[in-house]
Amino acid sequence: MIEDSPFVAAAPVLVPMPAERPYTYAVPPGMRVVPGSIVRVPLGPRQVAGIVWDGAVETVNAKKLRPIEEVFDCPPIDRAMRRFVDWIAHYTLSAPGMVARMLLRAPEAFDPEPWIEGLQRTLAEPDRLTDARRRVLETAEGGLAWTRSGLAHAAGVSSTVIDGLRAQGVFETVMIPPRPVVAAPDPSHAMPKLMPDQEAAADRLRSAIAADAFNVTLLDGVTGSGKTEVYFEAVAAALDKVRQVLILLPEIALTHAFLERFQDRFGAKPAEWHSDLPPRMRERVWRQVAEGGVRVVALGHLPPD
């Protein structure tokens, strides 16, 4: 119970530190949180990401409560995952906050990815038309927005040509959404011709995907027997149902060859997640996975703590 508080409510928040229980934070007026909401809260002198947890809040003196600073614009952690965190904490005798920390490895990824500056053709014409400028104008036909470097590369000119056209009002500055980290895979691209045994195994996997239920399948075969092609049919079935797919690789050394085989089958590479990726790229991948913009992720091995 909270009395004499300028805030309308309080919520338990699990923060990424070795605490045995969630901390109680005040919820400012107009802010809406639900169990699973990812929030930014003050923790000592720092601002950290935390997860609104289940259960009643403690009876706390309102003057001692610190407010939730921000609710991230991303889907909340669902109930099944929250119970999984509780189970892991209990089973491993770990603090729940340290287990939840694995869900919050890249807190910057919960911020919306900023739009980028682009250029779009106007009705103005350049004062004189050179071959380089003509190529730029032909490339920019259709009204699409381009990044400065992208338009220069596509037209085969230097960026100074683009700058000159912009200075004359031939292009105007517009904001465009960030590009996806990978293109969308196409389940119908380069469909393989499977052998009878492979087709039978693929049908089992497709049926398991169609059942919308948990299932474990093990393919037994020697190296080169086509197990990867069969597994790809399960991936294709999941993509046809507008699902997301996580592919776990036994070691990072296999990543490059696997990405090429995946691209041959689906026409695009999956998003990568491994410790060799720069932190900024990991943030982009995680953000677009949470937003549903990434359909397939290939995990080489977990980043180090």
Please give the full DSSP string across 250-284, using - where no structure is assigned: S-GGGHHHHHHHHHHHHSSPPEEESTTS-HHHHHH
Tokens at 201, concatenated: 């195994």
Mean pLDDT value across residues 10-16: 92
pLDDT, one tens digit per residue, over 87-101 is 999 999 999 999 988
Mean pLDDT of all residues in 229-245 = 94
* Residue 108, pLDDT score: 63
User: Across residues 106-135, what is the average pLDDT?
Assistant: 84
Rounded average pLDDT over 154-158:
93
Dist. CA 187–CA 1, nearest whole Å: 54
Q: What is the pLDDT of residue 7?
A: 46
If you compute the radius of gyration of the chain from its CA atoms, what whole number of angstroms results?
Answer: 25
Is the separation of the CB atoms in 270 and 262 below 8 Å?
Answer: yes
The more confidently predicted of residues 7 and 286 is 286
**184-213 mean pLDDT:** 93
- For residue 106, what pLDDT is reported? 64
pLDDT average, residue stretch 194-198? 93
Higher pLDDT, 290 or 142: 142
Q: In which element (H, E) is residue 70 found?
A: strand 70-71
* Whether residue 66 has pLDDT greater than 80: yes
58 pLDDT more than 90: no
Both tokens assigned to 271: 């998003």
* Integer Cα distance of 5 and 160 in angstroms: 59
Highest mean pLDDT among 125-139, 171-185, 211-225 belongs to 125-139
Specify which residues 52 forms β-bridges with.
13
pLDDT of residue 301: 54
Full-model pTM: 0.58
For the chain, the first-to-last Cα distance in angstroms comes to: 38
The larger pLDDT score, comparing residue 59 to residue 7, is at 59
The DSSP element (H or E) to which 133 belongs, if any, is helix 131-139
What single-letter amino acid sits at 62?
A
Beta bridge mates, 291 = none
What's the rounded Cα separation, in Å, for the pair 51 and 34?
10
All residues at 6 or more sequence positions from 65 whose CB lies less than 8 Å from its CB, including other chains: 2, 5, 7, 10, 24, 25, 26
Q: What is the mean pLDDT of residues 87-116?
A: 82
Residue 170 has pLDDT above 90, yes or no: yes
Q: Tell me, what's the pLDDT at 131?
A: 94
